[in-house]
């Protein structure tokens, strides 16, 4: 038996390399780095599922430049060090001319120096930290909004909601700190008093200490920035501690459907920013695109709670492919230049890039629409403001 293993393994490896060799000639590869395991696994998998829908749709419609596209999805394990390794692997081994990633701001910031080193552009589909597009990295093209844009979109609601004194609770990473700072700046400029700014470890599950402090601070609105898992616990624990303030979640990774399912009655009366409202797709800029994406998502049996995350990957791949098409070749530098001129009708809205960051080495930044929704009696509704 042992004698057989050698030749069989060799044959398998040969067959494998022949197969990939053959495929490589016909396809254009796009590298994707997402947190498929670890703390952000749920969201990362949704983005990957959305990306695969886009891949299949594009290939069914004939691909790009006469070739099919092929996604190479790597797991960055929710870990910045691993994220860097995945990007190096995708660029060096798979020779991808364009990337999409890396979900969280911390992961994206970690891989950015590598993009500059290897000169390969990346479409950023989720991250919101301002630093990503203002640090002078010309290989970054972000389709998701920055925390600053989100805070600005919220501005007209401050008076309408009657916010007088706000407290903050955010996750202690680039995403949370950036969001807290931008919202606090905007609120202050609108005459709102800022109470306490509390932080939490991204892995923490018990927030009793922070919530007791927030209760004592006595604001009328609590702005929370974190992903859905911690948000679920915060809503539940706020109810346990009888914290009777209005809770607004920021950052758009809050999956209201999952909150309703898991936090139950504790989710009622909370507000959530989102960049795609699947409960009323008709209000989006491109309702036909939104509905097509939603129909395919449901057809594939994916978790409906993931609709508010999967579109990021769906749009990201369409944008990368538009870049390849406009470049006319699968070359990183040509794609980088071409991405400046793309116009994509996506779930995020009409996607195109404006310049952000220091002159001469600007990053691309899209301006998506920001929506605020409310959870009322176990249902997601448009806010009445």
Neighbours of 122 (CB within 10 A): 29
> How many residues form the binding site for other proteins (CB under 8 A)?
42
Residue 104 contacts other proteins per CB under 8 A: no
Region near other proteins per CB under 8 A, out of 47-55, 139-147, 256-264, 286-294: 256-264
Cβ closest to other proteins, residue 129 vs residue 262:
262
Residue 44 contacts other proteins per CB under 8 A: yes
User: Could you tell me the smallest distance in angstroms from the CB atom of residue 328 to other proteins?
Assistant: 39
Rule CB under 8 A: choose which of 229, 257, 296, 362 binds other proteins.
229
Region near other proteins per CB under 8 A, out of 91-99, 136-144, 192-200, 291-299: 192-200
How many residues belong to the chain? 385
Cβ closest to other proteins, residue 98 vs residue 250:
250
Residue 356 contacts other proteins per CB under 8 A: no
Show contacts with other proteins in window 45-74 (CB under 8 A). Answer: 45
Residue 221 contacts other proteins per CB under 8 A: no
Rule CB under 8 A: choose which of 204, 304, 326, 370 binds other proteins.
204
Burial zone of 31 (CB within 10 Å; 0-12 exposed, 13-18 middle, 19+ buried): buried
Cβ closest to other proteins, residue 121 vs residue 176:
176
Distance in angstroms (rounded) separating the CA atoms of residues 352 and 186: 25
Burial zone of 340 (CB within 10 Å; 0-12 exposed, 13-18 middle, 19+ buried): middle
User: Could you tell me the smallest distance in angstroms from the CB atom of residue 162 to other proteins?
Assistant: 25
Closest CA to 255 of 318, 188, 322, 305: 305
90 in Cβ contact with 111 (< 8 Å): no
Rule CB under 8 A: choose which of 129, 258, 273, 363 binds other proteins.
258
Residue 241 contacts other proteins per CB under 8 A: yes
For 35-65, give one letter per residue: b (16+ CB within 10 A) or e: bbeebbebbbbbbbbbbbbbbeebeeeebbe
Residue 261 contacts other proteins per CB under 8 A: yes
Distance in angstroms (rounded) separating the CA atoms of residues 353 and 78: 27
Query: Dihedral (C-alpha) 100, 105, 109, 112: value to the nearest 10 degrees?
Result: 10
327 in Cβ contact with 67 (< 8 Å): no
User: Could you tell me the smallest distance in angstroms from the CB atom of residue 199 to other proteins?
Assistant: 4
Query: For binding to other proteins (CB under 8 A), which residues are involved?
Result: 36-42, 44-45, 172, 198-201, 203-206, 208-210, 212-213, 215-216, 228-229, 232-233, 239-242, 258, 261-265, 303, 305-306
């Amino acid at each position: 038996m042992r004698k057989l293993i050698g030749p069989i393994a060799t044959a398998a490896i040969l067959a494998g390399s022949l197969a990939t060799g053959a495929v490589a000639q016909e396809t254009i590869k796009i590298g994707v780095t997402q947190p498929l395991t670890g703390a952000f696994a749920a969201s990362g998998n949704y983005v990957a599922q959305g990306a695969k829908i886009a891949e299949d749709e594009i290939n069914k419609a004939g691909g790009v430049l006469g070739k099919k596209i092929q996604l190479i999805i790597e797991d960055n394990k929710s870990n910045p060090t691993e994220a860097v390794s995945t990007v190096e692997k995708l660029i060096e081994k798979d020779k991808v001319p364009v990337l999409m990633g890396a979900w969280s701001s911390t992961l994206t910031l970690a891989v950015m120096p590598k993009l500059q080193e290897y000169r390969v552009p990346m479409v950023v589909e989720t991250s919101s930290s301002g630093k990503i597009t203002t640090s002078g990295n010309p290989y970054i093209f972000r389709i998701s909004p920055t925390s600053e844009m989100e805070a600005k979109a919220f501005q007209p609601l401050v008076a309408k909601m009657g916010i007088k004194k706000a407290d903050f609770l955010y996750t202690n990473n680039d995403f949370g700190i950036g969001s807290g700072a931008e919202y606090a700046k905007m609120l202050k400029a609108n005459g709102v008093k800022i109470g306490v700014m509390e932080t939490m470890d991204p892995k923490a599950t018990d927030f009793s200490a922070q919530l007791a402090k927030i209760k004592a601070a006595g604001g009328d609105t609590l702005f929370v920035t974190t992903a859905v898992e911690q948000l679920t616990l915060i809503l539940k624990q706020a109810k346990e501690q009888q914290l009777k303030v209005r809770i607004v979640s920021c950052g758009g990774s809050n999956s209201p459907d999952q909150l309703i399912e898991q936090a139950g009655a504790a989710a009622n009366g909370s507000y959530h920013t989102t960049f795609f409202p699947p409960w009323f797709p008709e209000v989006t800029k491109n309702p036909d695109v939104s509905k097509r994406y939603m129909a395919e998502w449901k057809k594939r049996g994916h978790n409906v709670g993931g609709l508010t995350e999967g579109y990021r990957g769906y749009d990201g791949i369409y944008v990368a492919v538009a870049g390849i098409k406009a470049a006319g070749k699968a070359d990183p530098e040509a794609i980088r230049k071409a991405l400046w001129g793309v116009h994509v009708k996506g779930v995020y809205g009409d996607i195109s890039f404006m310049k952000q960051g220091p002159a001469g080495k600007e990053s691309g930044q899209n301006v998506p629409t920001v929506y605020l929704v409310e959870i009322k009696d176990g249902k997601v509704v448009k806010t009445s403001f």
